[in-house]
Amino acid sequence: MSFGANYPNTRMRRNRKSDWSRRLVRETSLSTNDLILPLFLQAGKNEKSEIKSMPGIFRLSKDLILNEVKKAAKLGIPAIALFPVIEPNKKSDVAKEAYNSKNLICSTIKEIKNLGLNIGIICDVALDPYTSHGHDGIIAKGEVLNDATVEILCKQALAQAAAGCDIVAPSDMMDGRVAKIRKALDDSGFENVQIMSYAAKYASSFYGPFREALGSDKSLGKKDKRSYQMDPANSEEALREVALDISEGADMVIIKPGLPYLDIIYRVKTTFGIPTFAYQVSGEYAMIKAAAKNGWIDEDEAIIESLIAFKRAGANGIITYGAIDIAEKISC
């Protein structure tokens, strides 16, 4: 491929000479439409607890969550993602609380819907917040059972859909769960509920602060999730996972984590063309915050640059804990 004449006829810096010119030729843009706000939901009223490993992020009771959702909607953020902090006495080996129609998530969905806001609700379909052992599935003889887990995931998705959830997001990485959930939703009259599948979710070291936020780190202990989450060394496998989820009825896919897997985002988007989302996970967020606190980087510039990287790789949007702060900055 020829790009024409070289220097001095071609001077690449001409287009960079001023702010207006740089904006004029910019290839990738970031807007509030690209942001999804994750929120940690806890029991109680007017309760707010700090997550020490995630500066500026809190577990919030339902009434305070409603305020955050109002703020996000006002800023034009298209969707929120809810993650529950379940009380220990409601956890069990078989995660029965996950499909309780009156559980913390379902009751909160109903209250958010009653606000009448123009904002979507995404719910995590996974059992780890609800299991006493911290795994994403049912365990027998030391093994996470795939098919038994999927049956419960279907019940969980149905409970969330009945409460008014707009998008269910299976993050468990069980085989075949998208097809089963799609059929369960359709058979129950929820054919318009979307599925945003965590199609390529890696067994990553970057999830630590998130597990602390949910309290699943205490349950999981030294056990890992490598028997169902993906090996960080694999990329062809990610394409197979995404292809399967698309064939099973996924409307959108998530790549998790984000920055260490930009190549996966790019390959998925260019291969399938499906709406593809990046999850800037807790460890990524915490690293930026920690470096900024020590004066090593400019926090605002670093966070924006990281989100631009997701967009440049092909992501349609990003789940990020800094969504509200970012929306306030880029909408100014």
Q: Backbone phi, then psi, for 27, in 5-degree steps? A: -90, -30
Q: Are 203 and 230 in contact (CB under 8 A)?
A: yes
Closest CA to 203 of 224, 223, 184: 224
**What are the boundaries of each domain within the chain?**
29-330
Give me the helices (H) in 230-298, please.
236-248, 262-272, 282-293
What is the full DSSP assignment across 47-98? -EEE-TTSTT-EEEEHHHHHHHHHHHHHHT--EEEEEE---GGG-BTT-GGG
pLDDT score recorded for residue 331: 77
Q: Write down the pLDDT at residue 133.
A: 86
Q: Tens digit of pLDDT per residue, the chain (332 long)? A: 566 668 888 888 899 999 989 999 999 999 999 999 999 999 999 999 998 888 899 999 999 999 999 999 999 999 999 999 999 999 999 999 999 999 999 999 999 999 999 999 999 999 999 998 888 899 998 889 999 999 999 999 999 999 999 999 999 999 999 999 999 999 999 999 999 999 999 999 888 877 777 766 566 666 788 888 999 999 999 999 999 999 999 999 999 999 999 999 999 999 999 999 999 998 999 999 999 999 999 999 999 999 999 999 999 999 999 999 999 998 75
| Cβ atoms < 10 Å from Cβ of 199 | 31
Catalytic residue among 91, 256, 289, 311: 256
Is 281 in contact with 232 (CB distance < 8 Å)?
Answer: no
Cα–Cα distance for residue pair 142/144, rounded to 1 Å: 7
Q: Which of 31, 30, 122, 37 is nearest to 73 (CA)?
A: 37
Q: Bridge partners of 86?
A: none
| 256 among known catalytic residues | yes
Counting Cα atoms < 13 Å in the Cβ hemisphere of 310 gives: 28
Spot the catalytic one: 201, 225, 269, 289.
201
Architecture, CATH, for domain 29-330 = Alpha-Beta Barrel (3.20)
